[in-house]
Amino acid sequence: MTTAPDILSPEFAADPYSAYRTMRDEHPLIWFEPMQSYVISRYADVERAFKDPVFTSRNYDWQLEPVHGRTILQMDGREHSTHRNLVAPAFRGRDLMTRFVPVIEQNSRELIDAFAADGHVDLVRQYATRFPINVIVDMLGLPKADHEHFHRWYTAIMAFLSNLSGDEQATADGLRTKAEFEEYLLPIIRRRRDDPGDDLLSTLCSAEIDGVRMTDEEVKAFCSLLLTAGGETTDKAIASVMSNLVQHPEQLEAVRNDHSLVSAAFAETLRHSPPVHMIMRQPAEDVELSGGVVEAGKTVTCLIGAANRDPEKYADPDAFDIFRTDLDLGRAYTAGANHTAFCLGRHFCVGAMLAKTELETGIAQLLDAMQDIRFTDGAPPPEHGVFTRAPASLHLTFTPTA
């Protein structure tokens, strides 16, 4: 038997997928001392960690609260269901389509117009890292002049959350960002309560169920969570979807000719090369998983990137194929999905439909503006990251659409 991979090693960062195969086959349950966490990699185990109520999200008390405050992810039972019902309507159905799709379309178009005539672009720097954050700021009804503040805060918070090695500077920057974000947003929240508008922040401030409203601090924490969770997932997904499609020209042309296939390309990217590779849970009692027992109260790191390429779940799992038949597209953006990229069960990502709408809009507009897309350097860029993962840059050359 081989030695268990070190998930903080340069070798793992360069190619986690080879390590994932070794973990699934030989080390499905690892105690990883540097992170004080068990690590699980098989689909069945990760699915259980997301769905079984014995697995709590108490790990977020130390993982998220220092930079976000107490969020919906740390709630269980009635408190969780009430707060989820307070925020969920703004991210699905009629509200999303009528109020926010024009915001999404406009932000995407403005970014594309800035490079569409050039014939070349770094899609990460010039589009992907900007688009979702700009959308969130506009949805919240905050000034466009503050976009740069949000990009800086987003970067610092993500560095804190992905700081698996305990870098002190990243920790300090994240804590300082929390204080700056509170100083900025709490006065605005108080003003929106007194004088609400037709924006998401006003909706969050006024939402009420059975006499329960979110406090100012809870609204602020949700906005902070939305900034990072919504930004990071969509940012990296856009880069990975486009990189995957350019690597597979026949699939790219299929999506170009039928924009309804963008949803399939996004779903397959979530399975094949998900934006988030790790999510943690904490069992309330001893639990037996593949390879042994996890003790109550111990942190469990669920490897989404490994689970989503488990050959016990998918045929030819390392292949990118938007036409695969073992990925349920009808449920790909629901709590009953058969991939793990948005979690599953009660803590399924509340912003999944927002991300889907952004991807469908953005990829369609990009393909309409860019013909004959190819990698500028002739080869796909490498992915970067361990906690979250995607190309750090995506230099594309194209023919502008006349």
Residue 1 resides in a domain: no
Residue 116 resides in a domain: yes
pLDDT at 74: 66
Residues in a beta bridge with 280: 301
Residue 4 resides in a domain: no
How many domains in the chain? 1
In what side-by-side order are the strands of the sheet with 370-375?
A: 120-122, 395-400, 370-375
Length of the chain: 402
pLDDT at 97: 64
pLDDT at 239: 96
Residue 226 resides in a domain: yes
Residue 363 resides in a domain: yes
Give SS3 for 159.
helix
Residue 38 resides in a domain: yes
Give SS3 for 6.
coil
- pLDDT over 80 at 86, yes or no: no
pLDDT at 177: 84
pLDDT single digits (tens) 185-198: 999 999 998 888 88
pLDDT single digits (tens) 197-231: 888 889 888 877 777 788 888 888 888 888 877 77
- CATH code of the domain covering residue 213: 1.10.630.10
Closest-CA residue to 356 (of 93, 25, 71): 93
Residue 59 resides in a domain: yes
Q: Name the least confident of 157-161, 275-279, 393-397.
A: 157-161
Q: What is the mean pLDDT of residues 129-135?
A: 91
Q: How many CA atoms lie within 13 A of 118 on its CB side?
A: 14
Alpha-carbon span 270 to 332, nearest angstrom: 9
pLDDT at 90: 67
pLDDT at 127: 97
pLDDT single digits (tens) 296-316: 999 999 999 999 999 999 999
Segments forming the whole domain that contains residue 23: 10-400
pLDDT single digits (tens) 30-80: 999 988 999 999 999 999 999 998 998 777 666 667 777 776 666 666 776
Residue 46 resides in a domain: yes
pLDDT at 199: 86
Alpha-carbon span 398 to 119, nearest angstrom: 5
pLDDT at 237: 94
Enter the DSSP assignment of 75: -
**Cβ(188)–Cβ(169) below 8 Å:** no
- The pLDDT > 70 percentage for the chain reads 90
